[in-house]
């Protein structure tokens, strides 16, 4: 008799325990539950203890924490016809659990696919130099586009960072040759500007000395002094015509 009683009660206890297991859910602080009742959306619940009606209500968990998603490497052609491989990282979070579950299937996968296509589309409109030197601007542009398109999914894109831009070996060598040619061009320009400035200074000095013949004579005598100080055994120097002419004039001028 007792055995028959146990055989009747035990299945009932197991069934009740199963119903309680199905009915009681615990959501963490960063989780929300999207509850459906008979297939229709009912409400968003959580965090804490949630009680569902088994067989009538079901629940989908949604994580509200910021997700760092790695965008796989993408092959693309830049605006100046350079083949590059680019990858990035995407930071986003769910701000509306209802939209994330109802408006899109598998919002994580959908966001990843959208990020890949947007990355190729945006970077393909820019030159290689812009990809390398204006990453902050491109990051903001990609983030703005993704944020606008994922708004209907209840997702907020906080940031996009381009991690690496890879080139093939041929392009790397070509860029190195271009950089070397640019450095040589700048060196020649600087050298030419220096020569031009030096020539201009010489012209100015010549004009200044030409204003008074005595200035040329003083410069000549200073040069002789510098040569004499070099301890040379033999010194050959020309006499300037102006100096000779001055001496001749002094000698030939009759005394009054």
Residue 29 has pLDDT above 80, yes or no: yes
- Model pTM? 0.64
> Do 77 and 160 sit in the same domain of this protein?
yes
Token pair 């409109």: residue: 125
Rounded mean pLDDT of 112-138? Answer: 91
Between 220 and 150, the more confident residue is 150
Domain for residue 256, yes or no? Answer: no
Q: How far apart are CA 76 and CA 21, in angstroms?
A: 51
> Do 8 and 40 sit in the same domain of this protein?
yes
> Do 156 and 100 sit in the same domain of this protein?
yes
pLDDT of residue 54: 85
- Structure tokens belonging to residue 141: 């542009």
Token pair 């390398």: residue: 132
Alpha helices (H) along the chain: 2-23, 97-102, 107-123, 128-133, 135-150, 169-210, 213-228, 241-252
Closest C-alpha among 246, 253, 75, 240 to residue 168? 75
Between 184 and 6, the more confident residue is 184
For the stretch 166-215, pLDDT in tens is: 887 666 666 667 777 777 888 888 888 888 888 888 777 767 666 666 66
Other CB atoms within a 10 A radius of the CB of residue 139 amount to: 16
Residue 110 contacts residue 101 (beta carbons within 8 Å): no
Residue 241 has pLDDT above 60, yes or no: no
Backbone angles phi, psi at 211, to 5 degrees: -70, -25
Q: How far apart are CA 176 and CA 206, in angstroms?
A: 45
Domain for residue 134, yes or no? Answer: yes
By CB neighbour count within 10 A (0-12 exposed, 13-18 middle, 19+ buried), where does 250 fall? exposed
Closest C-alpha among 154, 30, 27 to residue 98? 154
> Do 186 and 223 sit in the same domain of this protein?
yes
Mean pLDDT (the chain) is 81
Domain for residue 48, yes or no? Answer: yes
Residue 214 contacts residue 246 (beta carbons within 8 Å): no
> Do 98 and 50 sit in the same domain of this protein?
no
Q: How far apart are CA 247 and CA 234, in angstroms?
A: 25
Alpha helices (H) along 24-60: none
> Do 134 and 212 sit in the same domain of this protein?
no
Domain limits at 125? 67-167
Count of structural domains, the chain? 3
Between 246 and 158, the more confident residue is 158
For the stretch 67-122, pLDDT in tens is: 999 999 998 888 888 888 999 999 999 999 999 999 999 999 999 999 999 999 99
């Amino acid at each position: 008799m007792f055995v028959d009683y146990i055989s009747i009660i035990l299945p009932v206890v197991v069934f009740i325990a199963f119903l309680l297991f199905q009915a009681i859910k615990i959501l963490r602080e960063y989780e929300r539950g999207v509850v459906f009742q008979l297939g229709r959306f009912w409400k968003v619940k959580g965090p804490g203890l949630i009680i569902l009606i088994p067989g009538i209500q079901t629940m989908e968990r949604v994580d509200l924490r910021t997700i760092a998603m790695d965008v796989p490497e993408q092959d693309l052609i830049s605006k100046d016809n350079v083949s590059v491989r680019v990858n990035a990282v995407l930071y986003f979070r769910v701000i509306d659990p209802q939209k994330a579950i109802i408006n899109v299937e598998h919002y994580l996968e959908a966001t990843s696919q959208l990020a890949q296509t947007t990355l190729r589309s945006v970077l393909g409109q820019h030159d290689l130099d812009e990809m390398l030197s204006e990453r902050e601007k491109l990051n903001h542009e990609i983030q703005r586009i993704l944020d606008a398109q994922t708004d209907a999914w209840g997702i907020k894109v906080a940031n996009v960072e381009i991690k690496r831009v890879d080139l093939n070996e041929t392009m790397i060598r070509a860029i190195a040759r271009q950089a070397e040619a640019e450095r040589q061009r700048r060196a020649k320009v600087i050298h030419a500007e220096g020569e031009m400035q030096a020539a201009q200074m010489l012209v100015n000095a010549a004009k200044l000395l030409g204003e008074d013949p005595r200035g040329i004579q003083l410069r000549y005598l200073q040069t002789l002094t510098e040569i004499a100080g070099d301890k040379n055994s033999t010194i050959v120097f020309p006499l300037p015509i102006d100096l000779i002419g001055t001496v001749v004039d002094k000698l030939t001028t009759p005394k009054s």
